Amino acid sequence: MKTSENKSQLLEYNYLTRKQYSQEEVRTVNCPFCNSNEYKIITIERTVLGIVKCKICGLIYVNPRLKAPEKIYWGNSNDYYEEARLIFSGGRQHHRDRNYSDDLKTIARFKPAGNFLDIGTNAGFFLRLARKNNNWNIYGIEPSESLANLGRKYFNLNIKNAFLEDSDFPDNFFDIVTMTDVFEHISDPKIILNKVHKIIKDDGILFIKVPNGLFNLTKLRLARLTGNVKSYDIFDSYEHLVHYSHDTLTKMLQKHGFCVIHKSIGKPIQTPVWMDYVGRYYQYPTPWVLDYKNHILRNIFYFAGLMEYFLLGFKAGWFAPNIIIVAKKV
């Protein structure tokens, strides 16, 4: 049963952020790809966060955006532990484990062995599955001290607590570099891509999975048709700073010394709904019966996106929830 106490806990809990921000908490930025300041406003979220489309290159990004969006993940370790304690103990799967397993199969097709770095690894949920491949030497890097400590303590993972641009990894060291649901959080992609280009081997691969920006536009259109624009965050603009398509992500990678060797779409992420019932997010899956409508809708969009992917010549269109790219150094 939902209660007012549950809702109060929900509002106070560290995983969630305020529904409104002030002008003092945001900053205006130029396009992360072409540095243009010419844009068209698509919509506004949380009072002041703008979703815009660059008039020059077509990239969708957040402007104005929060000054320090990364601090959303710098919460209390005890809170993060309580959210995922059943995963840390091995009692439950993570709700993204199916997605992670699919990603790891794709990576293994292109690079079945070698030094493996996961950027923005959170508490190591993805890496704990990657470690099952004994041919990969696993490394992680995570700027949140609390999350990095949890991954080291409970999964015994080799996680460096730092931003990638400040790290001291040797040049030409990694065979595999991954960013799973991370690259959309990065405010200045060129800094990260330039660093990755230095630390990855000449025959190494870069794996990136991000939400599909075109799918977010589809959701926005549907929300406007049904009058539900204000009921939820379509673009998650408080943390997702850039919204890529296969085309714009390919151009971004090409600009910084990579060539794309594989494009695909990812299965939908079935987000838990525990917060609606007990006031806490909980990382592990919710039973089908508690969220069957959203499960069905997400799968319908995924299969529509899959058909669209083939019709468009192996790139995502307007219905695929996530996009995947594998790239190599030029």
- Is 28 contained in some domain? no
Residue 220: predicted pLDDT: 95
- CATH number of residue 134's parent domain: 3.40.50.150
- Is 42 contained in some domain? no
- Is 13 contained in some domain? no
Residue 231: predicted pLDDT: 57
> 307, 313 in Cβ contact below 8 A?
no
pLDDT over 90, % of the chain:
85
Residue 17: predicted pLDDT: 56
> Beta-strand (E) ranges in 85-224?
114-119, 136-141, 159-160, 174-180, 200-211
- Is 33 contained in some domain? no
**Residue 40 structure tokens:** 């068209």
Instruction: List Cβ neighbours of 146 (8 Å cut-off, separation of 6 or more).
Output: 74, 75, 76, 77, 80
- 33-44: per-residue pLDDT in tens? 999 999 999 999
- Comparing CA positions, the residue from 149, 137, 142, 90 lying closest to residue 121 is 142
- How many folded domains does the chain comprise? 1
- Is 191 contained in some domain? yes
Residue 330: predicted pLDDT: 92
β-pair type (49-54, 39-45): antiparallel
N- to C-terminal Cα separation, the chain: 56
Domain that includes residue 226, residue range: 70-329
- 93-111: per-residue pLDDT in tens? 999 999 999 999 999 999 9
**Residue 199 structure tokens:** 């630390």
- Is 168 contained in some domain? yes
- Is 275 contained in some domain? yes
Number of H-type helices and E-type strands within the chain = 10, 13
- Is 30 contained in some domain? no
Per-chain mean pLDDT for the chain? 92
> In whole angstroms, what is the distance from residue 67 CA to residue 223 CA?
28
To 10 degrees, the CA torsion angle through 79, 68, 266, 194? -130
Helix (H), strand (E) at residue 108: helix 97-110
- 269-299: per-residue pLDDT in tens? 999 999 888 888 899 999 999 999 999 999 9
Taking the chain (330 residues) in runs of 10, the rounded mean pLDDT of each run is: 38 52 94 97 94 98 93 87 94 97 98 98 98 97 96 98 96 98 96 98 98 97 85 86 98 98 97 88 92 95 97 96 97
> In whole angstroms, what is the distance from residue 196 CA to residue 183 CA?
12
- Comparing CA positions, the residue from 126, 119, 232, 247 lying closest to residue 185 is 119
